[in-house]
């Protein structure tokens, strides 16, 4: 990949851009404003040479399909809907419309270019991706301001530092652009304020435009030329993102079994059942029935009933009185805490994944 920078549009050679990705740069303010229109949902942008051409193009559009935008001496042209400020654009104004835009910028549309886009600090990262996807030589054409040269140097610096094994050749103009960018690295706002066009914008009351134009990677929109119209580039989806979606997507025709335990293991809520440490312990239902049975009566032990002392057991069944045997037989084995009607069962639920 060879990278070339032209600091003046008049110096561009047709043979150099014939099979290259061409990046047009006019930071203040054409190539910042046009991406904003597309970012806010404009259908397309038609770059017109003068206000008369813009009006003719606008009149050919159906009612409600187009808008007029342009500037002269940094001010909105009388009778136009918007000026040249990127802050004039909004989704409510431009969504779904074709913008007929005119500007005194010296940039030209090079139809002989293989692929032509517009770049500025606000969409730097997207322009960088576009240059990589093209896998062609890159030619950066600046409008002539120092801020345009700084953007060119910034883009060249990013490309040469991240291409890795891809062979890259820098023209002398590309090396010069890097040298113009490095002193302003991290101080883009100061650069714009000290440039001739920046000072003129401040005098006209557009100081906020400078702050916006200096913000790198503010929007994700790259205008590219197709049939004399600038459309929003639709980049392909990133491969890693598709892989993540496929791995996390449910498979059709399958279901998952979710089994909930009968009783959760929680020390604060022990599993109900027979206490093994106390033989013959009675359940909750037995205790309740006993309370009803003896409700209002004295305990049997308080009636003076005689209890026989336990006898020494030598053989199985010996040492027990007939009364003790009958009492044990009547009592029977301890009952569970829950009756048959209240036995909890494990929940097994079939949940189908969404298709």
Domain co-membership, 144 together with 190: yes
Q: Tell me what pLDDT residue 300 has.
A: 47
Q: Tell me what pLDDT residue 345 has.
A: 52
Domain co-membership, 21 together with 61: yes
- Among 240, 270, 303, the domain-final residue is 240
Residue 302 has pLDDT above 50, yes or no: no
Asked if residue 297 is part of any domain, the answer here is: no
Asked if residue 172 is part of any domain, the answer here is: yes
Residue 347 has pLDDT above 90, yes or no: no
Domain co-membership, 115 together with 210: yes
Domain co-membership, 14 together with 160: yes
Cβ-Cβ contacts under 8 Å for 227 (sequence gap 6 or more): none
Give the residue, 116 or 347, on which the prediction is more confident.
Answer: 116
Residue 94 has pLDDT above 90, yes or no: yes
Domain co-membership, 260 together with 209: no
Residue 313 has pLDDT above 50, yes or no: no
Residue 125 has pLDDT above 50, yes or no: yes
Q: Tell me what pLDDT residue 161 has.
A: 87
Q: Tell me what pLDDT residue 336 has.
A: 59
How confident is the prediction for the chain on average, in pLDDT?
80
Give tens-digit pLDDT for 166-204. 788 999 999 999 999 999 999 999 999 999 999 999 999
Domain co-membership, 162 together with 187: yes
- Using CA atoms, how far residue 70 sits from 28, 53, 82, 163, 192, in Å, is 13, 11, 7, 38, 21
Q: What is the pTM of this model?
A: 0.68
Domain co-membership, 209 together with 288: no
Asked if residue 307 is part of any domain, the answer here is: no
Domain co-membership, 214 together with 144: yes
Give the residue, 229 or 259, on which the prediction is more confident.
Answer: 229
- Is residue 119 a contact partner of residue 24, using CB atoms and an 8 Å limit? yes
- Using CA atoms, how far residue 309 sits from 199, 229, 279, 314, in Å, is 113, 111, 20, 16
Output the domain CATH number for residue 187.
Answer: 3.90.1560.10
Of 104, 119, 124, 123, the residue nearest 200 (C-alpha): 104
Domain co-membership, 133 together with 272: no
Domain co-membership, 132 together with 6: yes
Q: How confident is the model at residue 163 (pLDDT cuts 50, 70, 90)?
A: confident
Separation between Cα atoms, residue 7 and residue 174, nearest integer Å: 10
Portion of the chain with pLDDT greater than 70, in percent? 66
Q: How confident is the model at residue 304 (pLDDT cuts 50, 70, 90)?
A: very low
Residue 297 has pLDDT above 70, yes or no: no
Domain co-membership, 257 together with 279: yes
Portion of the chain with pLDDT greater than 90, in percent? 61
- Among 216, 240, 264, the domain-final residue is 240
Split into its structural domains, the chain has a count of 2
> What mean pLDDT is predicted for residues 12-34?
96
Asked if residue 189 is part of any domain, the answer here is: yes
Asked if residue 154 is part of any domain, the answer here is: yes
> What mean pLDDT is predicted for residues 331-354?
54
Q: Tell me what pLDDT residue 236 has.
A: 72
Asked if residue 303 is part of any domain, the answer here is: no
DSSP string, 152-169: HHHHHHHHHHH-TTS--E
Domain co-membership, 147 together with 221: yes
Separation between Cα atoms, residue 150 and residue 211, nearest integer Å: 16
Give tens-digit pLDDT for 209-239. 999 999 999 999 999 999 999 999 997 765 5
- Among 208, 240, 272, the domain-final residue is 240
Residue 311 has pLDDT above 50, yes or no: no
> What mean pLDDT is predicted for residues 110-127?
96
Range of the structural domain that residue 351 is part of: 252-292+312-355
């Amino acid at each position: 990949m060879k990278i070339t920078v032209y600091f003046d549009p008049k110096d561009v050679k047709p043979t150099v851009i014939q099979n290259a990705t061409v990046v047009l740069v006019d930071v203040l303010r054409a190539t910042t404003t046009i991406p904003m229109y597309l970012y806010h949902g404009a259908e397309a942008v038609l770059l017109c040479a003068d206000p008369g051409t813009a009006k003719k193009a606008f009149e050919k559009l159906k009612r409600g399909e187009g808008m007029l935008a342009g500037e002269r001496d940094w001010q909105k042209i009388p009778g136009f809907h918007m000026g040249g400020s990127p802050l004039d654009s909004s989704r409510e104004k431009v969504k779904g419309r074709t913008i007929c835009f005119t500007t005194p910028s010296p940039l030209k549309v090079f139809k002989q270019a293989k692929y032509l886009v517009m770049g500025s600090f606000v969409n730097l990262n997207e322009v960088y991706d576009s240059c990589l996807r093209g896998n062609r030589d890159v030619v950066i054409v600046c409008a002539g301001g120092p801020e345009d040269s700084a953007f060119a140097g910034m883009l060249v610096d990013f490309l040469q530092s991240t291409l890795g094994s891809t062979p890259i050749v820098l023209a002398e103009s590309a090396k010069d652009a890097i040298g113009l960018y490095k002193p302003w690295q991290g101080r883009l706002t100061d650069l714009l304020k000290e440039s001739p066009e920046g000072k003129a914008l401040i005098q006209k009351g557009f100081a906020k435009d400078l702050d916006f134009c200096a913000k790198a990677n503010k929007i994700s929109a790259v205008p590219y030329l197709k049939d004399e119209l600038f459309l929003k580039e639709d980049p392909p989806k990133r491969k890693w993102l598709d892989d993540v979606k496929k791995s996390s997507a449910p498979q059709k025709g399958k279901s998952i079994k979710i089994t909930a335990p009968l009783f959760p293991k929680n020390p604060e809520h022990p599993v109900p059942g027979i206490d093994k440490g106390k033989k013959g312990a009675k359940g909750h239902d037995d205790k309740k029935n006993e309370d009803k049975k003896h409700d209002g009566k004295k305990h049997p032990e308080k009636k003076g009933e005689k209890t026989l002392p336990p006898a020494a057991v030598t053989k199985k069944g010996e040492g027990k009185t007939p009364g003790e045997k009958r009492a044990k037989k009547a009592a029977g084995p301890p009952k569970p805490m829950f009756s048959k009607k209240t036995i909890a069962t494990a929940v097994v639920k079939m949940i189908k994944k969404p298709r």
